[in-house]
Chains A and B, each alone.
Chain A
Amino acid sequence: MLSPPTTCYLLLLQAHRSQRGFFEFPNHGSPQAKGDKTNGSDFGYVGIDAILEQMRRKAMKQGFEFNIMVVGQSGLGKSTLMNTLFKSKVSRKSVQPNPEERIPKTIEIKSISHDIEEKGVRMKLTVIDTPGFGDQINNENCWQPIMKFINDQYEAYLQEEINIDRKKRIPDSRVHCCIYFIPPTGHCLRPLDVEFMRRLSKVVNIVPVIAKADTLTLEERDYFKQTIREELRANGIDVYPQKEFDEDAEDRMINDKIREMIPFAVVGSDQEYQVNGKRILGRKTKWGTIEVENIAHCEFAYLRDLLIRTHMQNIKDITGSIHYETYRVRRLNESNGHFTPHPSDHPLWRNLCNCYPMQMFWFFFFKLPTK
């Protein structure tokens, strides 16, 4: 009854020049204002490219969500770095009425959300802190509570997604990015670092950073970074941006450059100082002032650009379309195989369960011809 859709013609409508976003494309003559549709020469204008504006409007109206987790021993400057990244007191410590500097006996997971807005763009930022990580005497299995938290967020999302009556927009509490703080020893990764990153890189985007990098000279820093990169490679740890998720050659080129710089050596600060007539964020010491946003001093700016200005959407996409889907596949397979094989288990049943999830199978069942 229905003839199959034929994908054919690539029809090039008369190009309407506009310069939006990061893409530049060749100039097709004199620039024409978007509203100028009745101009005689502007025959080909349909207005398909207006969808970009519509998407932008929708996104601005809906707002964005971003969930970032910080993991590392206490005293590595996690809270300060978060505050520096988001130029406000987003960290847990800044929020607590009586900030005690106690080290918890077990790993705690504490998350706090903020509504921030910049140039009309609203974002719900959630910072998830993990006090107690790496601080115990016995740190075996320290990754467990964190892994559990991450999986719990995937589970919550999945549960909402398979509801019959589900929300218009499923609240996204999934951890998009996990910043792992490596202490600036200058030598190599510790077993704790390797173990944690090895396990967690499979379920979440990990961005390793060298904390308090102002204790390393440039040579020490480069050596340290190289060692870390080799160790990551040797242990099969894929940190963000993962090579296998590069979409095309252009992507790969950009991401290769980033991969050559990882891990970023960062310094955080929420104090401003006057340097050369400008007010900049920095750390003042007797031997000089370290400018946080100066790339000659530390790589904070690269981290900020990666996380926020260029790759934030991509980080969320990888979380949603890769990590979450991996979790979902595992979970659905688990619940299918959860039932112990019945002695009279029909082979047809088993076959169907392997190919389709529960609901799908029932679709077939209800279509079976009745006697």
Chain B
Amino acid sequence: PKVSERVRPLSLAGHVGFDSLPDQLVNKSICQGFCFNILCIGETGIGKSTLMDTLFNTNFENFESSHFEPQVKLRAQTYDLQESNVRLRLTVVNTVGFGDQMNKQESYQPVVDYIDRQFESYLQEELKIKRSLHNYHDSRVHACLYFISPSGHSLKSLDLVTMKKLDSKVNIIPVIAKADTISKSELHKFKIKIMSELVSNGVQIYQFPLDDETVAKVNTTMNGHLPFAVVGSTEEVSVGNKMVKARQYPWGVVQVENENHCDFVKLREMLICVNMEDLREQTHTRHYELYRRCKLEEMGFKDTDPECKPVSLQQTYEAKRQEFLVELQKREDEMRQMFVQRVKEKEAELKEAERELQSRFEHLKRIHADEKATLEEKKRLLDEDQSSFSKRRAAAQLLQAQSLTANGKKDKDRKK
């Protein structure tokens, strides 16, 4: 039995108390903490790190990057921030070496790869059998600040190419960096030029949402101020009787939080105070869903088959499994064949070696026999020599003995 589709509106006769539900929900979120991930894309030295420091009023760990990176890299750092009772796990991802290479054709790729990797990571967690989505550290990029160089003319082709590649994957908020180098009138023209270029190239940047009446008005106004011209600074300068964040020049002081000087306050307002939750939601319900859908379709899963009947995941699974097993069997057979082949080869090698060894042995044996024969011959000669020598010696000894006795007799005879 399905849940009844008929839903009636009903009025309550008294205070029930479920108006506390939003509070209950908020309290749960407070306990869990929040996650927010910002990706900053911009050329080296354009002021990404400084802007982040200014936005969040802290000094994040920053390194000055070299201009000689062979490839674009991404550096992600995670921080735990707290403001009143809200705990925020903020991840700031910066591009390193963006725009520095001679050939910038592949510059966007590492960024796209990073974003996709985070989606993939989430998807894998979602598909696990035993999963824990509630404890999962969401690393998906919620907002992408694209830093436009303050040339005053137009967007660079690198900008257009990169933003076009990213607009279906992430919420893009373009900002004009180092806006204190542009005059007010130039800035106005620059903004118009940028927006028209984005439109004519079909780049979908993030629009501040208009569906909630409480914020529709301010969001509409802000949408008209895009891209935000920002200035970042963590240094404080004394203006009037206050210390404000500013950049001090010989000709004046650019105050970061002065709305007449730059749009920093607007950016902070929109990014953090008004639309942070919407950015997270868009990432989850639009960008992530698109990624997931594409990924699963790529794997061959469909919701309906060619005849538009809903395909059970089980059927697809069984079919794929059979395919896989066949493939696996084929691979196994191939490996087995290869193995047999190798064995044969090895066997032949060994036989060859054995043969060689055998012939060497024969050869050595022959040499040995020859030598032995030679030596035996020599020995025989030596023996002969020896025996003839001993004969001669014996004869000589005998002769000597005889001559001695003969002499002795002679002496004896003389004495008589």
Chain A residues with CB under 8 Å of chain B are 1-3, 5-18, 20-23, 25, 37-38, 40, 43-52, 54-61, 64, 66-67, 85-90, 95, 108-121, 123-124, 126, 128, 149, 153, 162-166, 168, 173, 247, 281, 304-305, 308-314, 317, 321, 325, 328-329, 332-333, 335-336, 338-339, 342, 344-346, 348-349, 356-360, 362-363, 365-366
User: When A47-B268, A48-B81 are in contact, do A173 and B3 touch as well, CB less than 8 Å?
Assistant: yes
List the A side residues contacting B332 at CB < 8 Å. Answer: 346
**Quick one: which of A2, A10, A119, A164 contacts B296, CB cutoff 8 A?**
A164
List the A side residues contacting B7 at CB < 8 Å. Answer: 113-115, 124
User: Are A21 and B30 in contact (CB-based, < 8 A)?
Assistant: yes
**20 A-B contacts (beta carbon < 8 Å):** A1-B110, A25-B85, A47-B269, A48-B88, A49-B85, A49-B86, A51-B272, A55-B26, A60-B22, A86-B16, A109-B1, A118-B15, A126-B3, A128-B3, A164-B297, A304-B16, A313-B27, A339-B321, A344-B329, A366-B298
User: Are B13 and A5 in contact (CB-based, < 8 A)?
Assistant: no
User: Are B21 and A64 in contact (CB-based, < 8 A)?
Assistant: yes
User: Are B128 and A18 in contact (CB-based, < 8 A)?
Assistant: no
Cβ of B129 under 8 Å from chain A: yes
Tell me how many residues of B have a C-beta within 8 Å of chain A. Answer: 106
**Quick one: which of A12, A50, A61, A329 contacts B130, CB cutoff 8 A?**
A329
User: Are B80 and A11 in contact (CB-based, < 8 A)?
Assistant: yes
In the complex, what distance in Å separates the CA atom of A21 from the CA atom of B243?
34
In the complex, what distance in Å separates the CA atom of A60 from the CA atom of B413?
163
User: Are A50 and B273 in contact (CB-based, < 8 A)?
Assistant: yes
Question: Could you tell me the distance in whole angstroms from the C-beta of A91 to the nearest C-beta in chain B?
Answer: 11
User: Are A5 and B91 in contact (CB-based, < 8 A)?
Assistant: yes
User: Are A362 and B325 in contact (CB-based, < 8 A)?
Assistant: no
In the complex, what distance in Å separates the CA atom of A281 from the CA atom of B61?
62
Question: Could you tell me the distance in whole angstroms from the C-beta of A33 to the nearest C-beta in chain B?
Answer: 14
User: Are B10 and A339 in contact (CB-based, < 8 A)?
Assistant: no
User: Are B12 and A362 in contact (CB-based, < 8 A)?
Assistant: no
Question: Could you tell me the distance in whole angstroms from the C-beta of B213 to the nearest C-beta in chain A?
Answer: 10
Closest 3 CB pairs of A and B: A313-B24, A54-B277, A47-B273
List the A side residues contacting B16 at CB < 8 Å. Answer: 85-87, 116, 118, 304, 308
List the B side residues contacting A149 at CB < 8 Å. Answer: 1
User: Are A111 and B277 in contact (CB-based, < 8 A)?
Assistant: no
List the A side residues contacting B24 at CB < 8 Å. Answer: 310-314
User: Are A357 and B114 in contact (CB-based, < 8 A)?
Assistant: no
Of all chain A residues, which has the CB nearest B294?
A: A164
User: When A18-B84, A21-B23, A52-B86 are in contact, do A362 and B212 touch as well, CB less than 8 Å?
Assistant: no
Cβ of B185 under 8 Å from chain A: no
List the B side residues contacting A49 at CB < 8 Å. Answer: 83-86
Of all chain A residues, which has the CB nearest B73?
A: A1
User: Are B325 and A346 in contact (CB-based, < 8 A)?
Assistant: yes
Cβ of B182 under 8 Å from chain A: no
User: Are B272 and A118 in contact (CB-based, < 8 A)?
Assistant: no
List the A side residues contacting B313 at CB < 8 Å. Answer: 162, 335, 358
Further pairs besides A44-B57, A126-B3, A362-B299: 14, Cβ < 8 Å: A13-B82, A48-B88, A54-B276, A59-B21, A59-B26, A88-B11, A89-B10, A109-B1, A247-B31, A304-B17, A309-B20, A310-B24, A325-B131, A366-B298
Question: Could you tell me the distance in whole angstroms from the C-beta of A349 to the nearest C-beta in chain B?
Answer: 7
User: Are A118 and B18 in contact (CB-based, < 8 A)?
Assistant: yes
**Quick one: which of A22, A38, A113, A321 contacts B8, CB cutoff 8 A?**
A113
User: Are A113 and B4 in contact (CB-based, < 8 A)?
Assistant: yes
Cβ of B250 under 8 Å from chain A: no
List the A side residues contacting B79 at CB < 8 Å. Answer: 7-9, 11
User: Are A359 and B299 in contact (CB-based, < 8 A)?
Assistant: yes
Cβ of B74 under 8 Å from chain A: yes
User: Are A356 and B128 in contact (CB-based, < 8 A)?
Assistant: yes
**Quick one: which of B22, B27, B131, B324 contacts A121, CB cutoff 8 A?**
B22
Of all chain B residues, which has the CB nearest A279?
A: B14
Binds A, one of B145-153, B161-169, B300-308, B351-359: B300-308
**Quick one: which of B15, B26, B131, B275 contacts A21, CB cutoff 8 A?**
B26
Of all chain A residues, which has the CB nearest B330?
A: A371
Of all chain B residues, which has the CB nearest A251?
A: B31
In the complex, what distance in Å separates the CA atom of A304 from the CA atom of B12?
15
**Quick one: which of B23, B84, B212, B320 contacts A15, CB cutoff 8 A?**
B84
In the complex, what distance in Å separates the CA atom of A6 from the CA atom of B63?
15
List the B side residues contacting A114 at CB < 8 Å. Answer: 7-10
User: When A87-B16, A325-B131 are in contact, do A9 and B9 touch as well, CB less than 8 Å?
Assistant: no
User: When A11-B79, A54-B275, A54-B278 are in contact, do A309 and B129 touch as well, CB less than 8 Å?
Assistant: no
User: Are B325 and A16 in contact (CB-based, < 8 A)?
Assistant: no
User: Are A11 and B82 in contact (CB-based, < 8 A)?
Assistant: yes
User: Are A113 and B3 in contact (CB-based, < 8 A)?
Assistant: yes
In the complex, what distance in Å separates the CA atom of A117 from the CA atom of B21?
12
User: Are B128 and A360 in contact (CB-based, < 8 A)?
Assistant: yes
**Quick one: which of A40, A52, A86, A304 contacts B243, CB cutoff 8 A?**
A40
User: Are B21 and A23 in contact (CB-based, < 8 A)?
Assistant: no
Interface centre among A87, A359, A360, A365 (most CB of B within 10 A): A359
Q: Which of B262-283 contact A (CB under 8 A)?
A: 265, 268-269, 272-278, 281
